[in-house]
Amino acid sequence: LGDVYKRQTVRNVIRAAYGVIGTPYVFGGTSVYGFDCSGFTQYAFARAGISLPRTADVQMYSGRQISASQLRPGDLIFFSTYEPGPSHCGIYLGNGQFIHAGSSTGVTVSSAFTGYWGARYYGACRVI
């Protein structure tokens, strides 16, 4: 029952995340009118019944720390952007992709390990 529950919860998080693709980026945003990165992850997890802290730097430590090689869909993934440490976050989808609220893109899917994000990868944690 535990694994079935976890798989369904992950599906619910990812479904909620995809449901708001295209939502604009708003600094401090926590709703379908606009999200920042951690407001987006908090929203998607809340739709699956999981409470997350509000900011990326605190969300990083809200689950079990995992390595990039251990990533599974539904894990939180973090990047160091405008300040040292985890300052951007998203939800790992598998196959090197993650969904997040980017400041220039709004809610979108991006590659986690190449280009802009690959150079800024910081770490990951498993909440589910």
Q: What is the pLDDT of residues 90-116, one digit of tens each?
A: 999 999 999 999 999 999 999 999 999
60 Cβ contact list (under 8 Å, min separation 6): 76, 78, 85, 86, 89, 122, 123, 125
Q: Kindly state the greatest CA–CA separation across the chain.
A: 41
Query: Cα-flanking dihedrals φ and ψ of residue 101, to 5°?
Result: -100, 100
Tell me the average pLDDT across 5-18. 97
SS3 of residue 81 by DSSP: coil
Annotated catalytic residue 88? yes
For 74-110, give one letter per residue: b (16+ CB within 10 A) or e: bbbbbbbbeeeebbbbbbbbeeeebbbbbeeebbbbb
> What is the structure's pLDDT at 79?
98
Kindly tell me if the per-residue pLDDT of 1 is higher than 90: no
Under 8 Å between Cβ of 128 and 41: no
Mean pLDDT of 18-39: 98
Residue type, 83: E
80 is catalytic: no
pLDDT at 85: 95
Q: Which of 100, 106, 110, 112 is catalytic?
A: 100
Residue 62, pLDDT score? 96
- Catalytic option among 88, 99, 102, 127: 88
Q: What is the pLDDT of residue 116?
A: 97
